[in-house]
Amino acid sequence: MQNTNRKNMKGIFTLLLAIIGLNLFAQESKIPQWFLDDISKMNGTWIADNSEFMSDQEPYTSYISEWNIGIDSKSLTGKIYGLSATNQKILFWEFRQYWDNELQKAIIMQFGNSNVIGKGEMYPKNEELMESIQTFSLNDGRTWVEKHESKILQDTLITTSFEQLSNKSWKKKRTYKWIKQKSLDLGQFSMSLAIDDLKKSKEFYENLGFEVIDGKLEQNWLIMQNNDIKIGLFKGMFPTNTITFNPTDARSFYQLLKSKGVTILFEQGMDKDKGACS
């Protein structure tokens, strides 16, 4: 009986040591705050004007990037789309940004058409600038290296890409200015209009008493307001006019619509208990 008790006590003691060891390790290996801050800042939808680089081979007026916080708020998933002058939306890249527990590094991966894969490390270059260096590969084994720098200033994201030359130096490629799309107040209706002439549309709504409260002509979008009514004017960003409603409890509203047999064309985040959803 005493031997059995000793064995039980020994097992409990070993288990306690293991738990204490895991707790100590977890305390020593926390995910750095800069990584968590970057995830929080990137979360949302961003739009960048591409008029400077448009061509027959690249007929996209703007690019749209959508980022969503992952499980336990410790990772980020994203997508980048191109929007053509004919309002066709094309998916280019899918991303995952996460903290690698083995390497103790922030990793960013992206997957594109023709099975192009990019993977590399990201880190803060200074207090404002994030940098990532990725190796890209193709099915036939070809590889190349690219660097990206990004800086977030309130609701503006500045990104610059570089290609690595044979002598390991960096050649600058492109710089984009991404504008974060602001969410609406709960319960608010809004209308987003896909228009061809932003300046004329602005003048038209100004004659109706609307005032610009956000956006710029050179950014190809404006938010205008007249009392409690808000409209968004977007050139080359959305394929059709869209009416948006933000209910107080979007998930309950979603379940109600499904129970009534309403066809849901798009949903995002409805399978989670909290966080952004649409």
pLDDT of residue 267: 80
Distance in angstroms (rounded) separating the CA atoms of residues 160 and 180: 17
Q: Which residue has the higher pLDDT, 225 or 138?
A: 138
Decide if 269 contacts 275 (C-beta within 8 A): yes
- On the CB side of 137, how many CA atoms lie within 13 Å of its CA? 8
pLDDT at residue number 191: 72
Q: 209 forms bridges with which residues in the sheet?
A: none
Q: CB neighbours (10 Å) of residue 102?
A: 5
pLDDT at 1: 52
> How high is the pLDDT of residue 17?
45
Residue 23: what residue type?
N
**pLDDT for 224:** 85
- Count other Cβ atoms within 10 Å, centred on residue 222: 24
Cα–Cα dist 241/190, whole Å: 11
| Per-residue pLDDT reduced to its tens digit, 215-273 | 888 878 888 888 777 788 888 766 677 777 777 677 888 888 888 888 887 787 887 77
Instruction: Give the CA diameter of the chain.
Output: 93
Task: Give the C-alpha separation, 29 to 17, whole Å.
Answer: 18
pLDDT of 268: 79
Sign, CA dihedral 24-28-29-33, equals: positive
| Residues 21-36: tens digit of each pLDDT | 445 444 446 899 999 9
Per residue in 207-220, pLDDT (tens digit) is: 988 998 888 888 78
pLDDT tens digits for 169-193? 999 999 999 998 876 555 666 677 7
- Report the mean per-residue pLDDT for the chain: 84
The band of 167, judged by pLDDT with boundaries at 50, 70 and 90, is very high
